[in-house]
Amino acid sequence: MDFDLNEEQRMLAKTVADFCKQDSTVERFRKLRDADGDGWERRVWQQMGELGWLGVPFPERVGGFGGAFVDAALILEQFGRTLVPEPYLSCLVLGGYALLLGGSEEQQRRFLAPMVEGRSAVALGWAERRSRFDPSRVETSATRRGDGWHLEGEKIFVLDGHAADEVVVSARTDQGVGLFVVPGDAVDRQLLRLLDGRRGAHLRLDLDVGDDRRLSVQDGAEVLRRVLDYGAAATVAEGVGVAQSMLSRTVDYLGEREQFGVKIGSFQALQHRAVDMFVEVELLRSINMESIVRADEEGIERERAISAAKLQLADGGLQVARQAIQLHGGIGVTDEHDIGLFFKRMHVLATVGGDEAHHVARYAKRMD
């Protein structure tokens, strides 16, 4: 048993951490949030591609490095620390793994390889009004039309779907759930502001696509379940960075802010809240390690580990986020202060890929 990163992973984490500190501070996120535009920058996405960050978990045939999901998770953890807005979770993980697990090699070269280079972003649209967190509940339909398919239906809360070049969507065929790649600008997109200041879209689908845009996999729902597990593990990995950042920002604040003539961090009631945060962060860090290592595995232990990690994120991670606001007092409830941005991101992460109730129920079904 060894929890240490290898030399390459340590270097990768350090390079990403330096980037976050110098080139993608919280201030950058805030500016992009408040500006018109996508909320993130193509220029930076491309830079990430050049640095190889978009290829770490993918095979060499699409320009990747043949690593494991762990490597992508390391990057996400660092991104969480300063709220890096590029669509790593929404496109690289969700869109990327959908293409990797669902597409033929030809389709991977066509749709995934450009994303690995940072020239494209591929989002994933699977959720519908009545699906809740179950990707097999699909009402969007795909019917044969000529050589291709006619897609009709609605996909909701497609993360970064407003700006994606391509979107992988699920649709019901007469043989089950199929996955299709649709061009972003060929669908009717309703731009959405999300709770955490990022963006997404509701997609109204009513278009024809060629058969070459149907991913080769037969059981699309099964692929989506795996992809959403990667997504869930990714939210936890990013959540570790968010939680760690909230803890250290809060501890700093407790050591600076004075009331009653003393630093408020000297009060036991506040110290114990800070320690409660620390405990939850350490538990999150611990279960995250199991979750990201098992993400590439087949079988029930992967699902158990990832669901346990999601519970720790939704329960422990949100406790950290809420305590952080409480300990900042009134200033923590203003939009001006950064701590609230982390709070909101944590809430989004806790929900994406299945919320607390979903994962507890899933785990309960898989209990002996």
Partner 1 sequence: MDLTFSAEDEAFRQEVRGWISGAMPPEMRAKAAANHHFSMPEIMQWHKILYAKGWVAPHWPKEYGGAGFTATQQFIFAEELERAGAPGLSPFGLVMVGPLIQRFGTDAQKARFLPKILSGEEVWCQGYSEPNAGSDLASLTTKAEDQGDHFLVNGSKTWTTYAQYADWIFCLVRTSHEGKKQAGISFLLIDMKSEGVEVKPMLTLGGTPAFCDTFFTNVKVPKDNLLGPLHGGWNLAKALLGHERTLVGSVGIVERGLRVARRIAAAQVGPDGRPLAQDPLFRAKLARLEMRLRAHRMANYRAVAVQAKGHHPGPESSILKLVGSVLTQKADELAMELMGHDQLSWLNDAGAVPEFERWVPSQYCYDRATTIYAGSNEIQKNIIAKLILGLPKQ
| Interface ranges with partner 1 (CB under 8 A) | 1-5, 9, 70, 251, 254-255, 262-263, 265-268, 271-272, 274-276, 278-279, 282-284, 286-287, 289-290, 293-294, 304-305, 307-309, 311-312, 316, 359-361, 363-364, 367-368
Amino acid at 216: S
In sign, the C-alpha dihedral spanning 312, 313, 318, 321 is: positive
Q: How is 179-199 classified by DSSP, letter by letter?
A: EEEEEGGGSEEEEEE-TTS-E
| For partner 1, the closer CB: 69 or 97 | 69
CB of 52 to partner 1, least distance (A): 20
CB of 361 to partner 1, least distance (A): 7
What angle do helix axes 318-328 and 268-294 make, rounded to 10 degrees?
A: 150
Instruction: Give the tokens for residue 254.
Output: 């407790």
CB of 272 to partner 1, least distance (A): 5
Strands (E), 160-250: 166-173, 176-183, 188-193, 199-209
CB of 83 to partner 1, least distance (A): 23
| For partner 1, the closer CB: 57 or 200 | 57
Residue 225: CB atoms within 10 A of its CB come to: 14
CB of 340 to partner 1, least distance (A): 22
| For partner 1, the closer CB: 165 or 276 | 276
Task: From residue 219, give the alpha-carbon distance in Å to each of 9, 78, 90, 134.
Answer: 34, 34, 22, 14
How far, in Å, CA of 135 to CA of 141, rounded? 14
How big is the chain by its Cα radius of gyration, in Å? 21
CB of 270 to partner 1, least distance (A): 8
| For partner 1, the closer CB: 170 or 250 | 250
Q: Is 341 left (phi over 0), alpha (psi -120 to 50) or beta?
A: alpha
| For partner 1, the closer CB: 195 or 279 | 279
| For partner 1, the closer CB: 70 or 84 | 70
